[in-house]
A and B are shown apart, each in its own frame.
Chain A
Amino acid sequence: MPRPIQSIQRAAQVMHLLSGRARRLSLVELSAQMGLPKGTVFGILRTLQQVGFVEKDPDSAKYQLGAALLHLGSTYLDGNELRSRALNWADSLAARSNETVRIGTLHDGRVLVVHHVFRPDDSYQVLQVGSLLPLHATALGKALLAASPYVLSELDGEELTRFTARTITDVKQLTVALKEVKRRGWAADIGELVDGEGSVAAPITDRSERTVGSIAISGPIERLCESELPRSDLVAYVRESARAISRDLGAIPW
């Protein structure tokens, strides 16, 4: 394998630091954290500034990530677009699981519900599109968080709201749980938002494997779980639909 290019490694390190909790760092802070002379770091910053990856805040003279980056690596996909492309598979998931289906995206530290399919029992139900859910207490949110260490790092030191006795309110505990989510490729919430209600979710990815949303079924725990764990057939349905949507997102848009 060819040797890595040192200046690119260093530039990446700068960008990692700027994407951390502080968001804005001065030249002194950056060079201290990187253990490099100010002159070296300044050179890197100047180049990154030229290509738009880094901006200098004129008031504080601190550096922050540039707007060009947002367009590059962003996981942004229009929620309406996602719904349009996921419609058939969300329907199919509701029909197979006999449960409510929702699709969510990351929005300002919460889950924005962009699509909702009623539980197919023709009971009275109200469309929940547009509502916001907490990230840490829903399967939809955990599936999104597991793929967004950046957003997770924002939560560090924050009070996580308790909704039920089972809500994970400790960030460390949440971080551990998310590792497991990432490893197995799906997330669950068992009575963590509402007592007796649960959900199972899987991430939806685009063609470059970035997570752009998540899809979940939800319902009463006694239907969703078997001896306290999500039923494996339901987990399989959720994951299959997430995969099908992801595959279709790789296709040419309408």
Chain B
Amino acid sequence: MTGAYVASIDQGSASSRCMLFDRRGRLVSVAQKEHRQLFPRPGWVEQDAEEILGNVLQVVPDALEKAELKLADLVALGIANQRETTVVWDRDSGRPIYNAISWQDTRTDKIVNRLAAEGGKDRFRAKTGLPLTTYFSGPKIQWILDHVEGARDGAERGTVLFGTMDTWLIWKLTGRHVTDVTNASRTMLMDLRSLDWDDELLEAMKVPRAMLPEIHASSEPYGEAGAPLRGLPVAAALGDQQAALFGQTCFAAGEAKCTYGTGSFLLLNTGDRLVESTHGLLTTVGCRIAGEPPTYALEGSIAVTGALVQWLRDKLGLISSAAEIETLARTVEDSGGVYVVPAFSGLFAPHWRSDARGVIAGLTGYTTKGHLARAVLEATAWQTREVIDAMNSDAGTVLRVLKADGGMTADNLMMQLLADNLGVPVVRPIVAETVSLGAAYAAGLAVGFWPNVESLRANWHKAAEWLPRLDPETRERRFRKWKKAVARTLEWVDDDDE
């Protein structure tokens, strides 16, 4: 092995990034390209899988070029991806038979409600760790097979294939039809214990086994890429949030992180223990290194955090860039009693209410756009508070420090509000892009670039820390108000809505 760098792809909801890291886990280069979001109808969110592939194939050489490196300088490529987003394609033509259906898409609500009517929202929870919601891939596959002509036939014959983004990219890069345990754990088709596709689930979701990829470890050499990345070993795949857990070096049971991006995701490593949540969290696979048993995790998924900032920018036009929200929010001392609950496509953890829609509560004539901006940042903090409370209850532990990462942690005011509203210190590690770092770590481990996970811990350092400043009384009073605002989002959607 001559290379000195690992490449990682973070195939996200909004963009695809390539980052290059050196042996000490330090960022050496980055290239990024956004892709289009398609909104054919209210509640529908699609992406073009071929556009995404094109971007991925472009950002790798771009990142190399920026750092004046060559393909031969890389030892491996790891992939972290937006989870649950569903691609179905034709094996022979290599082309998708429908746009990729995003995790944010809610078109499967009828399928999901039908399934829930026959045994409750939690009928598959014991096996999959997931409640029945529109979030996961299984029902999305069913929708495509039911709406694209000939798709179901092809799927049964194995000429129409399914994959999450990892699978789609690995198939295009190496020709192998594989996925990893973390991505598979988000389809609602895999049994968390056997780590294999489950016949009862396949039958319930009406998904033929022949169209599914083989489930592999997260850190394992899957194969070498062909042109234009010829010879590059593709050696890791993880769902982006699991990659972030890995990138934060939360390798042991009891370690947790929260990643702040489009949505935000709190994950707690529970080691070899499968913890079933009674407080609205998900049970999911954290990672599996080839030749080792899997580690499990508890997850608190928040659908809308950074996306709310983008909404303020793109739909309301109150700011011209995401970062400007901090400037605007700092024009006021507090949110002036305003609460924004961004239940754009229902509420995720810990509520899981698809009948909820967003509200802005507490408006008065005194409210300014500064208050609104501040309430938007506070919404992220309060939503985090809810999932942390749930996690403390489920795991029987108490989180003493929050390890936060992701693009949104550039917002110092948001970080302070987090510390204030949670009442615990918040720390940011020296690499905020933990999704990319985690995929790089997993790929580097698979090819022996790093000897073991313990050697990676030394790379974790505290880059910044925020301490709580709000008195507990004010904090709890405001949290009570937040809960009242949440209550006002519920039961908004009616069966006969237009």
Residues of A within 8 A of B (CB): 78-81, 83-85, 87-89, 91-92, 94-96, 116-118, 120-122, 125, 127, 129, 247, 253-254
Contacts and interface: CB of A to CB of B under 8 A. Distances in A.
Given A78-B321, A95-B461, A118-B463, A88 B27 contact: yes
A90 to B, nearest CB: 9
A84 B320 CA distance: 14
Interface string B119-155: 0000000000000000000000000000000000000
A120 B324 contact: no
Given A78-B323, A81-B323, A81-B324, A95 B430 contact: yes
Interface in B420-479: 430-433, 461-466
B24 interface: yes
Nearest to B461: A120
Contact of A83 (B412, B465, B466): B412
Interface magnitude class on chain B: 20 to 34
Contact of A84 (B28, B66, B410, B464): B410
Contact of A121 (B324, B327, B461, B465): B461
Given A95-B24, A118-B464, A254-B321, A80 B432 contact: no
A254 B430 contact: no
B431 A78 contact: no
Interface in B48-98: 66
B226 to A, nearest CB: 30
A80 B430 contact: no
Contacts of A95: 24-27, 430-431, 461
B27 A91 contact: yes
B464 A127 contact: yes
Contacts of B25: 95
Contacts of B464: 116-118, 127
B462 A122 contact: yes
A83 B415 CA distance: 14
A199 to B, nearest CB: 18
Contacts of A92: 26-28
Contacts of A118: 430, 461-465
A87 B432 contact: yes
Interface string B314-329: 0000001111101100
B412 A129 contact: yes
- The residue among A85, A95, A247 with the most chain B CB atoms within 10 A of its own CB is A95
Q: Chain A: interface secondary structure? A: helix
Interface of B: 24-28, 30, 66, 320-324, 326-327, 407, 409-412, 430-433, 461-466
Contacts of B431: 88, 91, 95
B417 to A, nearest CB: 14
A91 B463 contact: yes
Contacts of A247: 66
A247 B466 CA distance: 30
Contacts of B28: 92
A84 B26 CA distance: 18
Nearest to B30: A88
Given A117-B430, A118-B461, A120-B463, A81 B321 contact: yes
A83 B430 contact: no
B428 to A, nearest CB: 9
A127 B323 contact: no
B322 A254 contact: yes
Q: Closest 9 A-B residue pairs measured CB to CB?
A: A120-B461, A84-B323, A84-B410, A80-B326, A81-B323, A92-B27, A80-B323, A95-B26, A254-B322
B111 to A, nearest CB: 35
Given A117-B430, A254-B322, A84 B463 contact: no
A207 B407 CA distance: 22
Contacts of A121: 461
Most chain B CB within 10 A, of A96, A127, A254, is at A254
Nearest to B326: A80
Contacts of B26: 92, 95-96
A89 B30 CA distance: 10
A127 B321 contact: no
B410 A83 contact: yes
Contacts of A122: 461-462
A207 B466 CA distance: 33
Contacts of B327: 78-80
A46 B486 CA distance: 59
Nearest to B67: A244
A92 B432 CA distance: 10
A80 B324 contact: yes
Contacts of A117: 430, 463-464
Contacts of B324: 78, 80-81
A80 to B, nearest CB: 4
B396 to A, nearest CB: 28
Contacts of B326: 80
A14 B27 CA distance: 48
A137 B172 CA distance: 56
B284 to A, nearest CB: 27
A207 to B, nearest CB: 15
B249 to A, nearest CB: 13
Contacts of A253: 320-321
A155 B198 CA distance: 75
Given A81-B321, A84-B410, A118-B465, 18 more contacts: A78-B324, A79-B327, A80-B327, A81-B324, A83-B412, A84-B321, A87-B407, A88-B30, A94-B461, A94-B463, A95-B461, A120-B462, A122-B461, A127-B464, A127-B466, A129-B412, A247-B66, A253-B321
Contacts of B321: 78, 81, 84, 253-254
